[in-house]
DNA sequence: ATAGGGTTAG
């Protein structure tokens, strides 16, 4: 392939007979962009003294560790290259399959000598960057004043952005295109919807869908689009809306992808609407959209996750019908069985899968180790863990977490801590979950100092703490009578915009009561209720107990009323002390209250 | 594409 460049500004490419074999799309865009007459006149860029463009590019090459290639190519083959025009260089570098170098060069020029690239150089470079999936680099090019890519390039840019997960930027581009009256294809819209789902931005799914409706593309909206909408509903826990949408699609004689059905199944499992789950399965079969391994995986997983032993039945049914579960399904069922306390059955499956030639992997080992910990068989858990390590599965944060939290569960915090140290020695990154597990374990063992140290350590490491980093500490602090310390942590949570779980407030209230601070305890209880949080029965009991000791009979009546409204009843021992107290004070419990007591 | 860690809960 030969390239001839003339000083006049025309930039032509002569292709050799075999060039079509090597022509990349990047190259094609170069040829289209540089048609005769299309190329602008050289810019008058003032370079810093004694600097040649070649030197600059050489310099950038050094920084970016790229090889400059012009000695052999540019200088020998293109003697007529216009060395004073940066735009030529841009195109040339780009043509050398080095759009990044080209971009660096462009940035250098514009920051050092107020160079502004011409439209066609930018176009070519932009397309090349988009082609190379370099969405951030392409985006930086858009900052050049006056540069407006062609609509088709922008549509490709959308694809590039969504592949890089930059969905928000992609949505902005849709707006830009709308302004110039360009309508992207349905497939671009669809791909963007999918990308929004992947990054968990269902809000953007709806925004984009609105854009689709506004754009007039509505007639060509297809079953794929609707599938994404259904999935968005499922992701937002509005499964029923998704289901209704499914019904509409089916009525039109269209049938969505299996994955759409699977999402609905997962959603209905989450809501424990198992009749709907089976209805979906029947629809699938009726539509000849046969449930696949992923579907059954979803069903079984969905059932087990809700501790529903039906999952095991479905699994056995499948086997009876000659279905061959894969390793994933075995792992799921083993985990489910461990969760509902059927370790024996889990063990049977472990051997069954091995017998069938399915080799347990790190997932399988992990759930089995978890299972042994759950029933308190620490010896077997360790044995299996070592077996797993022997197979090279050890070095990961998840298996360490399983071990560490398993050991903590049985009070073996020293062993857990030594594993924790081993992790860092082996260079396995400690993440938040590991810290949280240790904090919880240490708090349960009463080792508050060490637990607090770990909280600080994770903060120093720059990890973002979560609600579970604080909860056990607050609980323990309240239990040992340091409610003030607990409240400081609560304030810390608040400052970090972490919403405590309801139980945390219960600990605080009980802590306050134990300190005799019933006034604040009562205030806190009222706050809790105003936040629509349900206090625990115990919390009411502690409060009543504390009020009893202070003879706050009026307050007790208030608390009793609130307690009954939450649907709780009084324990006999409390009734007894209440009756004693009220009769001693020569007071009568109001009738209403008495009725509720009995 | 599907599975694994903590969070709830004695």
Residue A420's nearest CA partner among A471, A412, A393, A378 is A412
DSSP secondary-structure letter at A144?
S
Tens digits of per-residue pLDDT, A205-261?
A: 999 999 999 888 877 789 999 999 999 999 999 999 999 999 999 999 999 999 999
Dist. CA A264–CA A21, nearest whole Å: 47
Which pLDDT score is estimated for A365? 96
Which pLDDT score is estimated for A15? 28
Strands A11-14 and A2-5, by their bridges, are antiparallel
Q: Could you identify the residue whose CA is nearest to the C1' atom of nucleotide B5?
A: A398
Are A204 and A167 in contact by the 8 Å Cβ rule? The answer is: yes
Are A58 and A26 in contact by the 8 Å Cβ rule? The answer is: no
Name A residues 321-360 whose Cβ lies under 7 Å from strand B: 326-329, 331-332, 335
Nucleotide nearest to A435 (CA to C1'): B6
Q: Could you identify the residue whose CA is nearest to the C1' atom of nucleotide B2?
A: A294
Instruction: Identify the weakest region by mean pLDDT among A158-162, A212-216, A430-434, A437-441.
Output: A212-216
Measured in whole angstroms, the distance separating CA A411 from the mean position of its chain's CA atoms is 32
Dist. CA A36–CA A167, nearest whole Å: 37
Instruction: Identify the weakest region by mean pLDDT among A60-69, A119-128, A342-351, A530-539.
Output: A60-69
Long-range pairs, A348-352, Cβ under 8 A, ≥24: none
- Using 50, 70 and 90 to split pLDDT, how confident is the model at A48? low
- Using 50, 70 and 90 to split pLDDT, how confident is the model at A343? very high
Which pLDDT score is estimated for A54? 75
φ, ψ at A95 (rounded to 5°): -65, -30
Query: Does residue A34 register a pLDDT over 60?
Result: no
Which pLDDT score is estimated for A523? 95
Could you tell me the two tokens for A434? 């590991």
Which pLDDT score is estimated for A592? 47
Instruction: Please report, rounded to whole angstroms, the spatial distance between the CA atom of protein residue A245 and the C1' atom of nucleotide B7.
Output: 33
Tens digits of per-residue pLDDT, A549-561?
A: 888 989 999 999 9
Dist. CA A543–CA A555, nearest whole Å: 10
Give strand B nucleotides closer than 7 A to any protein Cβ: 1-9
Query: Does residue A3 register a pLDDT over 60?
Result: no
The mean predicted confidence, pLDDT, of chain A is 85
Which pLDDT score is estimated for A118? 83
A503 touches strand B (CB under 7 A): yes
Could you tell me the two tokens for A517? 């601070």
Query: Does residue A530 register a pLDDT over 70?
Result: yes
Tens digits of per-residue pLDDT, A156-178?
A: 999 999 998 899 999 999 999 99
Name A residues 433-492 whose Cβ lies under 7 Å from strand B: 433-434, 436-437, 440, 466-468, 471-472
- Using 50, 70 and 90 to split pLDDT, how confident is the model at A114? confident
Query: Does residue A195 register a pLDDT over 80?
Result: yes
Query: Does residue A5 register a pLDDT over 50?
Result: no
Tens digits of per-residue pLDDT, A565-588?
A: 999 999 888 888 888 877 776 666
Please state the rounded mean pLDDT for residues A29-51.
46
Angle in degrees, CA A240, A242, A244, rounded to 5: 70
Domains and CATH numbers, chain A: 501-598 (1.25.40.10)
Q: Return the number of other C-beta atoms located less than 10 Å from residue A66's C-beta.
A: 16
Could you tell me the two tokens for A180? 């110039």
Residue for token digits 């594993």?
Answer: A419
Which pLDDT score is estimated for A40? 39
Integer CA distances (angstroms), A530 to A492, A508, A524, A534, A543, in order: 22, 16, 10, 10, 17
Question: Which helix H or strand E contains A72, and what residues bound it?
Answer: none
Name A residues 60-89 whose Cβ lies under 7 Å from strand B: none
Dist. CA A89–CA A507, nearest whole Å: 69
- pTM of the predicted structure, to 2 decimals: 0.75
Dist. CA A565–CA A118, nearest whole Å: 73
Are A138 and A126 in contact by the 8 Å Cβ rule? The answer is: yes
Dist. CA A199–CA A206, nearest whole Å: 14
Higher pLDDT, A113 or A406: A406
Q: What is the CA radius of gyration of chain A?
A: 34
- Using 50, 70 and 90 to split pLDDT, how confident is the model at A64? low
Residue A566's nearest CA partner among A524, A591, A521, A596 is A596
> In b/e form, how buried is each residue of A420-437, taking b as 16+ CB within 10 angstroms?
beebeeeebebebbbbbb
Query: Does residue A24 register a pLDDT over 50?
Result: no
Instruction: Please report, rounded to whole angstroms, the spatial distance between the CA atom of protein residue A225 and the C1' atom of nucleotide B4.
Output: 32
A377 touches strand B (CB under 7 A): no
Long-range pairs, A444-451, Cβ under 8 A, ≥24: A444/A408, A444/A411, A444/A472, A444/A476, A445/A408, A445/A411, A445/A413, A446/A476, A446/A480, A447/A413, A448/A473, A448/A476, A448/A477, A448/A480, A450/A417, A451/A476
Measured in whole angstroms, the distance separating CA A536 from the mean position of its chain's CA atoms is 32
Higher pLDDT, A218 or A44: A218
Which pLDDT score is estimated for A264? 96
Query: Does residue A23 register a pLDDT over 70?
Result: no
Q: Return the number of other C-beta atoms located less than 10 Å from residue A339's C-beta.
A: 17
Query: Does residue A97 register a pLDDT over 70?
Result: no
Residue A137's nearest CA partner among A177, A107, A180, A115 is A107
Tell me how long chain A is. Answer: 598
φ, ψ at A335 (rounded to 5°): -60, -45
Beta bridge partners of A14: A2
Could you give the count of Cα atoms lying within 13 Å of A314 in the half-sphere of its Cβ?
Answer: 25
Nucleotide nearest to A393 (CA to C1'): B4
What lies within 8 Å, CB to CB, of A107 at 6+ separation is A140
Percent of chain A with pLDDT over 70: 84
Please state the rounded mean pLDDT for residues A370-377.
96
Name A residues 239-278 whose Cβ lies under 7 Å from strand B: 258-259, 262
């Amino acid at each position: 392939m030969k390239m001839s460049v003339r000083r006049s500004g025309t930039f032509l490419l002569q292709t050799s007979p075999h060039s079509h074999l090597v022509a990349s799309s990047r190259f094609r865009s170069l040829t289209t962009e540089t048609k005769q007459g299309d190329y602008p006149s050289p810019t008058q860029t003032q370079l810093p003294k004694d600097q040649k463009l070649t030197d600059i590019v050489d310099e950038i090459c050094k920084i970016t560790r790229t090889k400059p290639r012009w000695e052999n190519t540019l200088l020998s083959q293109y003697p007529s290259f216009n060395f004073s025009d940066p735009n030529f260089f841009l195109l040339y570098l780009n043509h050398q399959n080095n759009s990044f170098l080209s971009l660096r060069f462009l940035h250098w020029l514009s920051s050092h000598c107020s160079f502004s690239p011409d439209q066609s150089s930018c176009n070519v470079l932009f397309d090349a960057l988009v082609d190379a999936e370099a969405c951030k680099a392409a985006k930086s090019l858009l900052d050049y004043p006056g540069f407006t890519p062609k609509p088709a390039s922008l549509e490709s840019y959308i694809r590039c952005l969504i592949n890089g997960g930059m969905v928000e930027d992609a949505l902005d581009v849709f707006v830009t295109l709308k302004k110039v009256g360009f309508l992207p294809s349905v497939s671009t819209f669809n791909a963007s919807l999918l990308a929004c789902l992947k990054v968990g931005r269902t809000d953007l799914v709806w925004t984009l869908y609105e854009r689709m409706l506004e754009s007039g593309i509505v007639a060509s909206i297809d079953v794929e689009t609707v599938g994404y909408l259904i999935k968005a509903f499922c992701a937002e826990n509005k499964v029923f809306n998704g289901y209704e949408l499914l019904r509409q699609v089916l009525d039109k004689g269209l049938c969505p992808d299996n994955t759409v059905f699977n999402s609905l199944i997962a959603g209905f499992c989450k809501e424990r609407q198992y009749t709907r789950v089976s209805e979906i399965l029947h629809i699938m079969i009726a539509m000849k959209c046969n449930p696949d391994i992923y579907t059954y995986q979803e069903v079984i997983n969905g059932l087990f996750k809700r501790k529903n032993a039906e999952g095991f039945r479905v699994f056995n049914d499948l086997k009876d019908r000659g279905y061959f579960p894969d390793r994933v399904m075995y792992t799921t069922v083993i985990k489910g069985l461990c969760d509902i306390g059927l370790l024996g059955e889990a063990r049977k499956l472990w051997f069954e899968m091995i017998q069938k030639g399915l080799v347990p992997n790190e997932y399988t080992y992990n759930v089995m180790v978890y299972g042994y910990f759950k029933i308190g068989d620490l010896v077997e858990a360790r044995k299996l863990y070592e077996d797993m390590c022997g197979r090279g599965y050890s070095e990961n944060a998840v298996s360490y977490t399983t071990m560490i939290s398993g050991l903590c569960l049985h009070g073996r915090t020293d062993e857990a801590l030594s594993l924790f140290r081993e992790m860092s020695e082996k260079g396995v990154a400690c993440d938040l979950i590991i810290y949280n597990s240790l904090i919880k374990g240490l708090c349960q063992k009463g080792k508050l100092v060490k637990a607090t140290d770990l909280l600080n350590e994770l903060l120093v490491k720059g990890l973002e703490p979560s609600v579970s980093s604080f909860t056990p500490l607050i609980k323990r602090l309240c239990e040992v009578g340091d409610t003030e310390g607990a409240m400081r942590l609560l304030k810390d949570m608040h400052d970090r915009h972490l919403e405590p779980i309801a139980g945390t407030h219960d600990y605080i209230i009980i802590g306050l009561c134990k300190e005799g601070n019933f006034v604040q305890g009562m205030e806190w209880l009222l706050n809790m209720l105003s936040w629509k949080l349900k206090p625990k029965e115990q919390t009411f009991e502690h409060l009543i107990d504390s009020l009893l000791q202070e003879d706050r009979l009026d307050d007790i009546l208030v608390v009793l009323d609130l307690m009954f409204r939450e649907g709780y009843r009084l324990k006999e021992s409390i009734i007894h002390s209440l009756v004693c107290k009220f009769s001693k004070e020569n007071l009568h419990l109001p009738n209403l209250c008495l009725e509720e007591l009995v």
